[in-house]
A and B are shown apart, each in its own frame.
Chain A
Amino acid sequence: MIVEVGHYALILALALALLQFAIPFAGARLNDPALMRVARPTAISQFSFVALAYGALTYAHVVSDFSLVNVIENSHSLKPFIYKISGVWGNHEGSMLLWVLVLSLCGALIAIFSSAMPDKLRADALSVQGLLGAAFLLFILLTSNPFARVDQPPWEGRDLNPILQDPGLAIHPPLLYLGYVGFSIVFSFAAAALIGGRIDAAWARFARPWTLFAWVALTLGIAMGSYWAYYTLGWGGFWFWDPVENASLMPWIAGTALLHSAAVMEKREALKVWTIFLSILAFSLSLLGTFLVRSGVLTSVHAFASDPERGVFILGILVFFIGGALALFALRAGSLPVGGLFAPISREGALVVNNLLLSASCATVVIGTLYPLALEALTGEKISVGPPFFNTVLIPIALPLALLMPIGQMLAWKRGDLPAALARLRAAFAVGVLAAAALGARYGTPFLSIVSAGAAVYLIVGGLSDIAQRAAFRASSAGAVFTRLRGLALSAWGTSVSHAGMGLTLLGLAATGWGVENIVAMKPGDYYDVGPYKLGIEEISPRNGPNYSEIYAVMAVRSGGETIARIEPAKRFYQARKMQRSEAGVVTLGLGQVYAAIGESHEDGAIDARLYWKPFVTLIWIGALVMAFGGGLSLADRRLRIGVARRAQVAAMPEAAE
């Protein structure tokens, strides 16, 4: 009964989503408060019904109800409990249901946290959110119904794709979806502003926290996905410029730009139209990503199943919402108030430069992702646009961006003083140069790694020195510095911490150039060099897991003749799907990692192995965590933001630019 109730609840959610679209929309046009009031309870109850459906599907997976096609195809009675839960979204139908669950959650969140919002804006925003929900619910029910059932249930399921049987599956998709779909909130706000034809003063104040929220989730989701790929795929890569990865990177870059332009809009009432445009863009790119991943245009572990009918349906949704929003933008943007003008040398000016560079990066990724697809569709020719393209184009954009980030932070709103800002960054620059020299002397070429590492260190020091200088300025005692640090606005902390996090990630990326790789047939007992360490196999044995069998090797990591750690890379075989999957052995030493994966065994007892030493590699993900933490700090700052201008004579004083 639970299953069918869930199915019915999903259909009711569709009906409610349609009403959530139609009634408040009519209300906003008729200026009728009663109709507009319908928006909030329908949004909340739509979420409840989707949650009910989601719960029912989870129940079916947990109790191995093999009368559901979705459970047959993706579960197995012996699958560990955690994967029965996370396996719900480890397939096409379930992941779309999670998508809609998050979408309706966003609607419910708007409904709950919008008391201060003008009625019309709220009604229009929830109306757009309802329309989005209706489109995707219809997609699920008509093409990807997770509640489809069979009359003769089999006794065993086909198990979940082994690559997905990993704790990563429990974390990566929900975070990523919170990020993707979180941008729908800002999209709905933007569409509401365009439909209503006015941008309320508080618009940016409402939009910015949601942007931050989505951005933080997306940052964590991408980082998690990259770490997952790193330790599962077995060759130590963490980013492949795969279209599916790019699909998540595009909204992230657009979201980063949006975050910064929304700050300008909130404090200075400028860049209004541009911010609205970025709001549309960020979610449009999320939709594009969903289309690429879900339509089967791409073949990858994320695609699960390809079905042309689904592709066409999502393409329809995509065209309708992106096209509709852009058309609305074209129609209304001209009549929107433009907002204030500002001097080029100012915080606002720096943020515009930031936006330009980010937009260029975003366009690069979009082109690099779509061009091969378009070419294949038109001419049938398969080309591969990979790391060479992205590295060549993005590095010349990213490095200047890194150099400009601390400068922007140092500039005041309205009127900035560039020489003073540069003067305050002298120390950071010096530290960066010294670090580059030291790292270059220690690790050597490639040159790009040395330059990037120097820029990264400069970025970290520069990001934090803003906070430090503000606290230490003319301070008499350590106590005074501490009081100042506490007195600084959380959003200032957020900026510094996030920028420093970006620096950490950049340092980790730069250090990939210094990695060491050793591909050998390892004989048990012999030791092989990997960077500063030696690795040797102590034991190779088979072992049985709940739904797989594996061969694992116990490897000792030695430094100077002493064993400092043991890792257990393994090769697993999943009986139900007859699939293999490797499990890398990873140990973190300092900030770097020793990474080993095993392959085929030889007759003479040797086993193929790929051994890596990756200095500083953990910084890539630690940096992302720090960035997200900075975003969280900024999110926690609930003050109203006013861009305070400093008068010219006090411009040299490093005081709060809040």
Chain B
Amino acid sequence: MMWLVFALLTGVAVMAVLLPLAMRGEASDAGAADIAFFEEQIAEIERERAEGRLDPAEAEAAKTEAARRLLRAEAAPKAKARGSRRAALAAALAAIVIVPAISLPLYLRLGKVDMPDMPLTARLESQPDRGDLAGAVARIEQHLRERPEDGRGFEVVAPYYLRTGRGEDAIDAYSKALKLLGATAERHANLGQARMIVAEGKVTPEARKDFEAALALDPANVMSAYYLGLGAEQAGEKDRAVEIFAKLEADAPADAAYLPAVKRRLAELRGENAQRPPFAQAPDQQESGQGLARGPVAEGPASAQGKAIAAMPADQRAAMIRGMVDNLAARLESSGDDVEGWLKLIRAYNVLAEPEKARKAVEDARKALAGREAEAARIEALAKELNIGG
């Protein structure tokens, strides 16, 4: 089918050359156009005079000048145009050979003949691939644009947003889920956590309101309590923080996964132990395991973000950086033609002293940038500089 269309188009192109060659007709000689022009000009002067736009004397002067030029044109030597069958035949042959000889090889090199059109709506309606998370999310988004009252859809995509660095979208989706499906402690807690991640680990007043709402609905919501404790700590309310963490510790079952983190916070707050626990190990009573490390994003203005990071306690900072690196890696996995991103990622792994990951990033970058020599060369140069051949 495709080739049929191509053949048809090629035929049209060739015919555009063949038809005029086949037509009969004499060419006017070279001077004819000039002579016609001056004759027309003289007629025009007559017309203008008849309409009264030129006065007779002016018209006479102009006509004399035009007539003089006309005579000169008529006296010019004429070369008679002549057609030659041989030339026409050669031209026809050239067209028949050259059009396909240029188009076909060039198209075979540049084009992708078997590749169908891929309009987005058709792709969204087609059968999804297994394991294509991005595709599934795109489909849900499409569905949500049509039925924005479907709270479950928002609840499903929100964690994905948070993981892929779309913090604002995650907040939006969690709030919609909350509004549409009704308030639960868990939904409030998740929304609060998303806000916190977007705020680069800071428990903002909005986030605090969410955690408090979660606790009002379910006083046993550990995540909210823990983050409120952190919030109190960040606000300098040490006693309140100790109170919250102590209560968490007292209420926790002995084998709770979050217990060590709580204990470390307490130890830190009471000044018993100088070593800070990793901020990222928030107690997580959910199975989905959305730790802070997976999420933090918010690419605000670089300097502001940089300042915020620098101002954090060391452990929080490490978690923050970790999160950003993971985030970058995730982004490059889905769209890998960003050479700056690859360079940044490789450097980051190098700084974090993770040679394995750095090497893998080099390999991935090579694959993603295959065929783009200038950019691939920059990756190679960096790999050499950092001594990670991969």
Q: What is A's interface to B at a CB cutoff of 8 Å?
A: 1-5, 7-9, 11-12, 14-16, 18-19, 22-23, 26-27, 30-38, 40-42, 44-45, 49, 59-60, 63-67, 72, 77, 116-121, 141, 145, 147-149, 153-156, 198, 200-202, 205, 269, 487, 489, 575, 578, 639-640, 642-647, 655-656, 658
How far, in angstroms, from A104 to B27 measured CA to CA in the complex? 25
Task: Find A18's partner among B25, B57, B102 (CB 8 Å cutoff).
Answer: B102
> Does B330 have its Cβ within 8 Å of any Cβ on chain A?
no
Write out, one digit per residue, whether chain B residues 36-71 have a CB within 8 A of any chain A CB (1) or not (0): 111011001100100111110111011001100100
Please give the distance in Å from A599's CB to the nearest CB on chain B.
Answer: 13
| B176: min CB distance to chain A, Å | 13
Residues of the A chain whose Cβ atoms lie less than 8 Å from the Cβ of B40? 640
Tell me the bound Cα distance from A205 to B26 in angstroms: 25
Contacts of B27 in A (CB 8 A): 33, 36, 119
Contact B118 A202 (CB under 8 A): no
Cβ-defined contact, B37 with A11, below 8 A: no
Q: Determine if B17 and A1 form an interchain contact, defined as CB atoms under 8 angstroms apart.
A: no
Binary contact track B83-105/A, C-beta < 8 Å → 1, others 0: 11001100100110011001100
| Count of A-B residue pairs with CB < 8 Å | 220
Quick one: given A16-B16, A153-B123, A269-B69, are A37 and B137 in contact (CB under 8 Å)? no
Among the listed A33, A45, A67, which residue makes an inter-chain contact with B12, where contact means beta carbons less than 8 Å apart? A45
CB <8 Å contact, A33 and B112: no
Distance in angstroms from A196 CB to nearest chain B CB is: 9
Report B153-169 CB contacts with A as 1/0, cut-off 8 Å.
00000000000000011
Q: Which residues of chain A are within 8 angstroms of B82 by Cβ–Cβ distance?
A: 31-33
List residues of B (92-135) whose CB comes within 8 Å of A's CBs.
94-95, 98-99, 102-103, 106-107, 110-113, 115-121, 123, 134-135
Q: Name the residue on B nearest A487 (C-beta).
A: B53
- Give B residues with C-beta under 8 Å from A: 1-2, 5-6, 9-10, 12-13, 16-17, 19-21, 23, 25-28, 30, 32-34, 36-38, 40-41, 44-45, 48, 51-55, 57-59, 61-62, 65-66, 69, 73, 79-84, 87-88, 91, 94-95, 98-99, 102-103, 106-107, 110-113, 115-121, 123, 134-135, 137-138, 168-169, 299, 334-335
Determine which residue in A117, A200, A201 has the highest number of CB atoms from chain B within 10 A of its CB, and name it.
Answer: A201
Q: How far is the CA of A37 from the CA of B25 in the complex (A)?
A: 10
- Find out whether the CB atom of A8 lies under 8 angstroms from the CB atom of B107: yes
Contact A8 B87 (CB under 8 A): no
Rounded to whole angstroms, the CA-CA distance of A644 and B55 in the bound complex is 10
- List A contacts of B52 (CB < 8 A): 487
CB distance from B6 to the nearest CB of A (A): 5
In the complex, what's the smallest C-beta–C-beta distance from B265 to chain A, in angstroms? Answer: 31
A560 to B255, CA, bound (A): 75
Contacts of A11 in B (CB 8 A): 102-103, 106-107, 110-111
Query: Beyond A45-B12, A116-B36: 7 further Cβ-contacts under 8 Å?
Result: A26-B87, A30-B87, A35-B87, A63-B117, A154-B334, A642-B41, A642-B44
User: In the assembled complex, which residues on chain A have CB atoms less than 8 Å from the CB atom of B9?
Assistant: 5, 8-9, 12, 49
Smallest Cβ-Cβ distance to B54: which chain A residue? A644
Which residues of B lie under 8 Å from residue A36 when comparing CB positions? 27
Taking the closest CB of chain A, its distance from the CB of B60, in whole angstroms, is 10
Tell me if A15 and B103 are in contact (CB < 8 A): yes
Residue from A15, A35, A121, A202 in contact with B13 in the complex, judged by beta carbons closer than 8 Å: A15
> Are A45 and B16 touching (Cβ within 8 A)?
yes
Evaluate contact between B34 and A202: CB separation under 8 angstroms.
Answer: yes
Contacts of B37 in A (CB 8 A): 116, 200-202, 205, 640
A198: nearest residue on chain B (CB-CB)? B30
Q: Report the bound CA distance from A49 to B6 in whole Å.
A: 12
Contact of B17 among A38, A60, A119, A120 (CB under 8 A): A38
- Also in contact, A67 and B115, with CB within 8 A (given A32-B87, A38-B17): yes
26 A-B pairs, CB-CB below 8 angstroms?
A4-B111, A4-B112, A7-B107, A7-B111, A8-B103, A11-B107, A16-B13, A18-B98, A27-B91, A34-B87, A34-B91, A35-B91, A41-B16, A41-B17, A41-B19, A66-B120, A67-B115, A77-B120, A118-B33, A119-B33, A155-B134, A155-B135, A575-B169, A640-B41, A642-B44, A658-B53
Residues of A within 8 A of B38 (CB): 201
Contact B137 A155 (CB under 8 A): yes
Q: Which of B6, B41, B119 has the most CB of A within 10 A?
A: B119
Do A2 and B299 form a contact, CB below 8 Å, given A19-B95, A32-B83? Answer: no
B169 vs chain A, min Cβ distance (A): 8
Q: Which residues of A contact B2 (CB under 8 A)?
A: 1, 4-5
| Bound Cα distance A141, B84 (Å) | 36
Chain A nearest CB from B136 CB (Å) reads 9
The reply to whether B111 and A8 contact each other, CB–CB distance below 8 Å, is: yes
- Least CB distance from A359 to B in Å reads 29
Query: What is the distance, in angstroms, from B179's C-beta to the closest C-beta of chain A?
Result: 16
Q: Are B88 and A34 in contact (CB under 8 A)?
A: yes
Q: Give the residue of A12, A66, A575, A645 whose beta carbon is less than 8 angstroms from that of B99.
A: A12
Given A8-B103, A147-B110, A201-B34 in contact, is the A640-B44 Cβ separation under 8 Å? yes
Cα A38 to Cα B111 in complex, Å, equals 29
The 8 closest A-B pairs by CB, nearest first: A33-B27, A63-B119, A155-B138, A118-B33, A45-B16, A64-B120, A37-B20, A15-B102
A118 touches B62 (CB 8 A): no
Give the residues in chain B near A141, CB-CB below 8 Å.
106, 110
**Cα–Cα, bound, A8→B103 (Å):** 7
> Which chain B residue shows the least CB distance to A56?
B117
A34 to B20, CA, bound (A): 7
Q: Which residues of B contact A45 (CB under 8 A)?
A: 12-13, 16
Are B81's CB and A33's CB within 8 A? yes
Q: Which A residues are in CB contact (< 8 Å) with B28? A: 118-119
Roughly how many angstroms separate A180 CA and B269 CA in the complex, as a whole number? Answer: 71
Whether A31 lies near B79 (C-beta < 8 A) is yes
Are B118 and A31 in contact, CB atoms less than 8 angstroms apart?
no
B32 CB contacts on chain A under 8 angstroms: 118
